[in-house]
Structure 1
Amino acid sequence: MSGKSDTICLAICLLVWIGVNIADGFWVYYYVITSIDPNPRTAVDRTNSGFAAFYVMMWIFGFPWGCVNLVVWWGYYKEVIEEPGYSRSRGMNWLVNLFSLFVVLPVALFMIIMPFFGGWIVTPLAASHVWNHACDGYPMFAILDGRSYNQPEYIADVARFYLSGSSSSIFTYDIASPDGSDIWFFHLREFDTAQSSIPLDAYPTLQNIEYDFVNNAVTGNCTIPVDQSGNTTTSACLHGSFETSGFFFFNITSSVPVNTTDAPALQLDNALLRSQDKNWIFDFGAPALTLRTLGPDGQLGQTVLRTATTAYKDCTQLKVCLSSIQGPSGSAVGAEVLAPLGLILLNQDNSAIQCTTPSSDD
């Protein structure tokens, strides 16, 4: 009877041990995912303080649990390898030893190391994958490059735009406040490729956007050709308002034309845009949000852009996936994309300076 009770007790302990290891695996998994791409927010990172507590407790729990796993596997090897008994033949001992070396040992090392260092080991590997593939399925993406702490103030904060699947930018915008006031400008800085090679639905005719932080107003001008000789004309094509505290919100009216001299008659487009989550700015972290259309009934609709992740080992660069109100088939350089993107770049500048500022211990 005692032997049966011992067997049941051992089985229960084994199940509990396996269950805790699975739970710890999910703990590390959510830490890695949230560290790389905290958007959209979950129960793990609904608040900055909540994520900090999640992070600290993961390490506090991971150390003793790694020690528990070490003891368990040490006991296994002591029982199976060092004291195998005399009931097994020499051939069976060889099979057990080979199985323990090539199958059990990798599993044991994994279960011992991951509670200690899982976050550090997995995060860089996952970050590289997410950086390369986060915007798959989107027609365009932008890389927002903020100024680091040790760079002079004349270095511009820029947004470089790419077609999906390309590694070469097609044009670059920057953001600046010439007189250091409450007026900021997000405008076309330069073309990085021949303008004739840029598809019409990816050509930036909305080339200058102004943000008035006193009145929370946004306006913009579009530039288009008027003839085949290269002459252009500029006209107002965007106005609206925005909010950056709490939800990231835009209410804009625009009439952005395509880059052609025989464009069809323009119509005004009205767009309400709101971030999916209220908290979109992290302490010592890059902006993180999914910006979607907002219907009259208060329901969120089409995603027009979403932040992806910062580059591994370069927190000054933030990748943003770009779509449109019409979805992936529409233009990703319309007012509903470019107007919010300038403010995201402005906040990425703040994040880049914070994350590159030397600590007091350096």
Structure 2
Amino acid sequence: MLALAMFVGVVAPTSTARAQWHAAAGTTGLNMQSLLSRNGINLAGGATGAYRSLDAAASFTPSNSGNDAVGPTRGFTFDKNYIYTCTSQGVFRSANNGVTWVAKSSGLTSLLTSGIFQAQTHIFVVGPTGVFRSDNQGDSWTAAGLAGVDVRCVTAIGTTVFVGTNGSGTYKSTNWGLTWTASNTGLTSANIRAIEAKGDTLFVGGQIGTSVFRSTDLGASWTLLGGGLVTSSYRGFANDGRIIVAGSFGAGVFYSVNNGARWTAINTGLTDLSIFDLDINDGYIVAATNTQGVFRFALSNLVDLDGDHCIGATDLSIFLGAWGPCTNCAADFDGDGTVGAIDLAMLLSYWGSCG
């Protein structure tokens, strides 16, 4: 602590010099609804198909060879061999990181799909006719429950699969979709547009007029979150284990460093505040917007107190100068009114990074 104390004495600013979001080249003016990162490749999908990036989402080019879907690309997932995308024309699979695609919809009763997720050796795809599961990397699909239910999103924690629906809230299955149980205690939104697992915590995005709900007991109960979030419909989430980000339809992007207890908006530079999806990868938050394509935001900017786009000794000096109770301080990363240990851990987690 003596070495750290040597930095104390610099007065902390009352507002941070965080950099803004930057638009990804090749996506301006496009509807984007889904994102994925894998093996240094970024994929984005929307009303005009799939797009691919080799430069950490700074720019994208169309990548639809073999994907003849006319309509939105709505989700991505992957396993050790393939990337999968769900579209309005079924499921497509790529063996070369999205360069080419092959249709894989055998067994689906409707080609209109809304979400896709890989869990252990299973892949789940959801849509207006329920849930379907593939146990052979998409070569064939079988019905996996909730027939006739309009299912919009899917995720899993361990062997428990969770889905969000349009009109019926959330359900969970502990037997890979053989049976489902409604999980709506405390949930005041019947329409769920997005679902995210962060460790053993679940987050779902509710309908217009609600917000984000959180469950810490595998969906047995839900709590409506506030702490800086605005009332809206939330369509996308992402997390990297340190932070979680939530995308609203009309109010932009919010992040939390304390598992959703408090949230901070980060919207400077976003020209469209209606967010369909989010991703965190390669040191960036990536956002898919309704009408203006893809944007990225350097994670290091969240703790860049001196505005030089890199995290180092000067940032630590400013941080320690603000230690203790502090109102509207840039160093209060978790927004609890005190610059303390949680904030320090966040600063150090980005040490040496630049963006």
TM-score range, shorter chain: under 0.3
Q: Which has the higher strand share?
A: 2
When normalised by structure 1's length, the TM-score is: 0.27
When normalised by structure 2's length, the TM-score is: 0.28
Q: Which has the higher helix share?
A: 1
